[in-house]
Amino acid sequence: MQTACYVSTSELMITAFLGDQIRAAAGRYAVTIVTHSEDYAALQALFPAATLVPLKIERSPAPWRDLRALFTLVRLFRRERYDLVHAVSPKGGLLAMLAARMAGVRARFFVFTGQVWATRSGLARRFFKAMDRVIVGCATHALVDSPSQRDFMVAEGIAPRERLIVIGQGSICGVDCARFRPDTDARAAVRTSLGVPPDACLLLYLGRLGVEKGLLDLCAAFADLRTRGIDAWLAFVGPDEMNLEAQAPGLLGAARDRVRFHGYTPTPERFFAAADVLCLPSYREGFGNVVIEAAACGVPAVASRIYGVTDAVADGATGLFHPAGDRPAIALLLARLTVDPLLRRHLGDAARTRACRDFGMAGITQAVLDLYAAALARP
């Protein structure tokens, strides 16, 4: 049996984005997963057919530890003689693609989900751009999760267009519309747990709470909303990397009593079902899979007009765009949707139709497996 190895710095990237592809691949290949986990037993339960290899790869630059991780991967790839390596996440992808090329792995897949250098300048921007060029050079298949991200990478000189592959209309994994759907029971239960009234307008941010996600802008816009007497609630769901909850009283003022923090959830579909509007005020995204997951639940988005997200949202049809960092514009759009439930319903219905039609998970998973087969069929 041919062998496939998946590598990521983050267990979350494996479970949230590549899970369906890994389970499907396990029916054709002997699968190994290389990542760091706080609970390997739970991870094994999610992927019972896979072999787990623990390896902690730092997200931030750590030269000596990165070098050790690189040679650990080289030794693993040479020993196991994998036919295919598939990596996701910037640091994990760089090390995995370098190691896979050094070890002579036949098929080397990497998925770009956004560029860490997109919002940087100077030496840092040049350094991280160079790393992306190295990844493309080492990969046999460079996947990009949105057409506009591919255009951006071509314009920035990262790779020629023919070296960058977009599956379908975009997304790293698509959306499971049987799992992500409107759910009145989940809506009622989540709102009760958050202390949000059943008929209130609930705004939701779901994902990693990082500075580049524009969450300070969202807090300022929400505070403005409440100052103007507009009746809305706001929930943040995800790991709080920026200690936002501790900063919230100073950022939100009197609006703090209408804000809820939940932390990471393994069932994001329940929170989407409870929400009325998804907020994604990011400064950079590769695609914004959270947008189509919310869309499949019938929830429209208010999002930054940036590359990647422009493929996930159809402006005026499934959601509304604002310029990144424009707090008054964010407040204006949130106010518009908060006071107009008919517009929310119209956008949400169209969002679900588009998400399930254009970004279905099964189609993207099959397309990835077809790429594997074609790559491994070559001499």
Output the tens digit of pLDDT for each of the chain's 379 residues: 999 999 999 898 999 899 999 999 999 999 999 999 999 999 999 999 999 999 999 877 788 999 999 999 999 999 999 999 999 989 999 999 999 999 999 999 999 999 989 989 999 999 999 999 999 999 999 999 999 999 999 999 999 999 999 999 999 999 999 999 999 999 999 999 999 999 999 999 999 998 899 999 999 999 999 999 999 999 999 999 889 888 888 889 889 999 999 999 999 999 999 999 999 999 999 999 999 999 999 999 999 999 999 999 999 999 999 999 999 999 999 999 999 999 999 999 999 999 999 999 999 999 999 999 999 998 7
201 & 337 share domain? yes
78 & 224 share domain? no
Under a CB-based contact definition with an 8 Å cutoff, are residues 220 and 251 in contact?
yes
The pTM (predicted TM-score) of the whole model is 0.92
The DSSP symbol for 255 reads G
Residue with tokens 């998970």: 361
Q: What is the domain-level CATH number for residue 144?
A: 3.40.50.2000
Token pair for residue 245? 């909850």
Would you say residue 44 lies in a domain? yes
Range of the structural domain that residue 33 is part of: 3-174+361-377
Would you say residue 160 lies in a domain? yes
Q: How many residues does the chain have?
A: 379
SS3 content of the chain, % helix, strand, coil (to 5): 50, 15, 35
Under a CB-based contact definition with an 8 Å cutoff, are residues 218 and 205 in contact?
yes
161 & 300 share domain? no
Q: What is the enclosing helix (H) or strand (E) of 278? A: strand 277-280
Under a CB-based contact definition with an 8 Å cutoff, are residues 6 and 87 in contact?
yes
Token pair for residue 240? 């709080």
State the CB neighbour count (10 A cutoff) for residue 266.
10
Question: What CA–CA distance (Å, rounded) separates 207 from 211?
Answer: 12
DSSP 24-56: HHTTTSEEEEEE--S-HHHHHHHSTTSEEEE--
Question: What CA–CA distance (Å, rounded) separates 235 from 249?
Answer: 14
Would you say residue 179 lies in a domain? no
Token pair for residue 182? 């409107």
Question: What CA–CA distance (Å, rounded) separates 138 from 287?
Answer: 23
Token pair for residue 147? 């057409």
Token pair for residue 124? 């840092």
339 & 370 share domain? no
232 & 323 share domain? yes
Question: What CA–CA distance (Å, rounded) separates 149 from 146?
Answer: 5
166 & 97 share domain? yes
